[in-house]
Amino acid sequence: MGDVVVSEDVAEALCAQWEAAVQARPDGAVGPIGRAIKAEAAPPRELAPWEVIANDLTDAVKDDTMLPGEDVPTVGDIPEAHGVSVGTAH
């Protein structure tokens, strides 16, 4: 199959048709170049239990609640303190 050659006039006509089609969209979500596209942010998700535990331990180190050299909570302590299974605490 040979190469397809599009003249400048044809390219401009195609771009004009595309822009007219986009502007005719009723939702306005997609617009021509230069117009902002509306997008909704995803709602924040709830943290998984292991993420809550990791954040709590990180915060304890950062705010000096857990001091250097101090023992970290054991796998037995974490489930009790956070209401999770031993597997999650592991």
Does one domain contain both 9 and 34? yes
What span, in angstroms and rounded, lies between the C-alpha atoms of 50 and 43? 20
Give yes or no: residues 33 and 3 share one domain: yes
| Residue span of the structural domain in which 33 resides | 1-40
Give me the mean pLDDT over the 8-36 stretch. 69
The total of structural domains in the chain comes to: 2
Residues 33 and 55 in one domain: no
Residue with tokens 């050659």: 5
Q: Are residues 32 and 60 in the same domain?
A: no
33 and 61 together in one domain: no
Q: Are residues 53 and 27 in the same domain?
A: no
Q: Do residues 24 and 59 share a domain? A: no
Claim to verify: residue 71 and residue 36 sit in the same structural domain = no
90 secondary structure, DSSP code: -
Please, are residues 5 and 15 in contact by the beta-carbon 8 Å criterion? no
**pLDDT tens, 26-75?**
655 555 555 666 678 888 899 999 999 999 999 999 999 999 899 989 99
Note the pLDDT of residue 30. Answer: 53
C-alpha 83/C-alpha 90 separation (Å) is 13
Calculate the CA dihedral of residues 77, 79, 83, 84 and round it to 10 degrees. 170
